[in-house]
A and B are shown apart, each in its own frame.
Chain A
Amino acid sequence: MKKLRKPGTFRFVSFVLFIAISICPATFVVSAIEATRKSILHEFGDMKWEQFDVEDAYEYKHLKALKIQNDNIDYAFSVSPYIMYYPFYDEDRGKIRYHELPTCAMSVDDFLLGSKKKQYLLEGRNLTAEDHEKRAASAIIAADFNDIADYKDRKVGDKLKICSQPKDFLCVEHRIVGKFKDLENAACSVIIPKSSVSNFQEGSYWLAWDEQTYFGVKELLYLKSTVEEIIHYLMRVSDDYTKLYNVKANQYEKMVRTMTRLSRLSIAVFILLLFVVAFGIVNFIVLTVWERKKDIAVALVAGYTKEKVALIFALRYFLICVPGLVLGFVLSAALTQTALRNILMEQFSHFDPSYDAFAAVSVVSLVACFFVCFISVWTVASRPPAELLREN
């Protein structure tokens, strides 16, 4: 192989850089959009969303909600007066931080309970206290609790029994907190995400509450420490994480759809860029082979077969492509792990870059490079050596 002319250093370096610089941004764009899409999906789960009409719902006349189906359980997800906070351990910053959710989740049946008012009014009666209690309790617990605790005979401060847990959360406390409207004893729950249990620290609660609608701060005294902590974090409205979760529930679907479209578009752009790169590489190889007709002819005159000459050239360009692709990969990975990671981790708790596309592209590029070179040289070497020498 060393017996044929090697490309000059400048040409070699420029070829390597050409491949690297071409591949790097193309791959980065795809991995950035794909990683963003994955982060969003990871945060919100793989759920089906549909518009959920609650215009007739009691106390929610002006609200819209989305129904989410997850593991065959229907949840209502609405932009509501409730505010939820759930903590997570921010490894980068080494502290517990809180997400603010301007939403409230509760089971659909309980959510719809409010709409019974209309039915009741038609029937000439109002919602009973029991209806209110049931609704309030389930709403605060904010999940598919079968356990609507019997707290009529309890006193403020009593802990309530928890019979079942929501799938992804852990209800650590459920207490009677005091009077609310018609309710003598209303309850409040402290819930933490199961995923945060390992990092769980004292006071790191996800508390579902609402002082305006159901419970005033005074009624939450029995959860004093938690409430204080929440109020403390409420004051810190500058928390970056609130930005993400201020997304309205009914915008989520649009967001995911947009990201999916962007992801598809980026793949299309990526394929287009690959063609540009491929044409560049083919052009480079064909021109180089064309310039080296004399070397090919001399090799043929010396007794090399056309297959042998083509193989020597193809292997050489294959080996030249390797550092270009590796460099492109390193640059792309570095960009992904620095710039992209920083951007996404400011908004999401999950970062999962994908290099599958790059690996596939690298392999295809190398194989294509090998064959393009092989075929180019083979084509030239199939011509009469005298003709090649004459043209040189």
Chain B
Amino acid sequence: MVELRDVSKVFFSGGSLKTALDKVNLTVERGEFVCLKGRSGAGKTTLLNLAGGLDAPTSGSASVLGIDARLYASQRMAELRNRRIGFVFQIFHLVPGDLFHNVSLPLQMRRMSRREQERRTMEVLERVGIEGLARQDIRTLSGGERQRAVFARALVKEPEIIFADEPFSNLDDITAGALIHLMEELHSNGKMIFLVTHSYEDRVQPTRTIFLEEGHLIKDEKTS
């Protein structure tokens, strides 16, 4: 489902080239719960973006659900991101408007009745426990509520894969626990989870843990 072959990614930063990933090989199959670990700057987010088709490798090949990551701007990749892949960002990336507006954003691209959009949006908001805030402006929500909103925006697509980048940082125990529980539930329902986290590592139970260091994949172990 997700395949990276000799993938390297080089950035131009501060007047010099910086290698974020160096010849990484990785294959992740359906139903796996992968946890990416490593220090800051190890290349976790870069790997996540390449695996999710949000970025193109400098060299090598990366594909998600059979589509090359270099086709990130194609119609096929857009459809993939709209229907089969969900993203959860650390810094939310919510757009101005109310909660409902943000969560229902992916459904706007589909040929779906307003009623159906509303039904699915409210259902997913209920699932993450913020259905009462549907019409509230996103700026008035707390950090925890915003993180739940980001989860809801990913889940409303009913995706096959969820890519989550540091979704529990800056969250309190209860909120983090609820979201970890939600991820495990999704995994048990057959979804592939791709998680980058530093927080609550001991409470997350992935099926596979990948360690990165300075752009190199140094360890890949099955954890259950």
Contact = CB atoms under 8 A, between A and B. Distances in A.
Given A5-B96, A298-B93, A305 B55 contact: no
11 contacts: A3-B97, A5-B95, A5-B96, A294-B95, A301-B87, A302-B106, A303-B106, A304-B82, A304-B108, A304-B109, A384-B55
Interface residues of B, number: 27
A295 B95 CA distance: 6
A302 B93 CA distance: 11
B49 A300 contact: no
Interface string B48-76: 01000011100000000000000011010
B54 A301 contact: yes
A387 B81 contact: no
Given A3-B101, A303-B79, A382 B73 contact: yes
B73 A297 contact: no
B73 A3 contact: no
Contacts of A5: 95-97
Given A384-B55, A386-B54, A4 B73 contact: no
B49 A303 contact: no
Interface string A299-328: 111111110100000000000000000000
Determine chain A's interface SS by DSSP, over half rule.
helix
Given A302-B106, A304-B108, A383-B73, 10 more contacts: A300-B78, A303-B78, A303-B81, A303-B157, A305-B78, A384-B49, A384-B72, A385-B54, A389-B54, A389-B93
Nearest to B79: A303
A382 B108 CA distance: 20
Contacts of A387: 55
B95 A4 contact: yes
B153 interface: yes
A3 B89 contact: no
B72 A302 contact: no
Contacts of A382: 73
Interface in A273-311: 294-295, 297-306, 308
Interface in B121-159: 153, 157
B95 A298 contact: yes
B109 A384 contact: no
A171 interface: no
A381 interface: yes
B105 interface: yes
Contacts of A4: 95
B83 interface: yes
A381 B73 CA distance: 8
Interface of A: 3-5, 294-295, 297-306, 308, 381-387, 389
A308 B78 CA distance: 11
Contact of A297 (B83, B93, B97): B93
Nearest to B92: A298
Contacts, number: 69
B95 A305 contact: no
Contacts of A306: 73, 78
A304 B78 contact: yes
Contacts of B94: 298
Contacts of B101: 3
Q: Report, nearest first, the 7 A-B pairs whose CB atoms are least far apart.
A: A303-B82, A386-B49, A386-B55, A386-B54, A302-B106, A305-B78, A384-B55
A299 B105 contact: yes
Nearest to B48: A386
Contacts of A302: 81-82, 105-106, 108-109, 153
A299 B108 CA distance: 10
A80 to B, nearest CB: 78
A299 B106 CA distance: 8
Nearest to A382: B73
Given A298-B95, A303-B83, A381-B73, A308 B54 contact: no
A308 B109 contact: yes
A265 to B, nearest CB: 47
Contacts of B55: 384-387
Contacts of A383: 73
Nearest to B54: A386
A384 B157 CA distance: 21
Nearest to A306: B73
A305 B49 CA distance: 18
Contacts of B79: 303
A339 B82 CA distance: 58
A337 B20 CA distance: 66
A389 B109 CA distance: 21
A384 B94 CA distance: 18
A299 B105 CA distance: 8
A161 to B, nearest CB: 88
B105 A294 contact: no
B142 to A, nearest CB: 20
Contacts of B89: 389
A3 B114 CA distance: 13
A302 B89 CA distance: 12
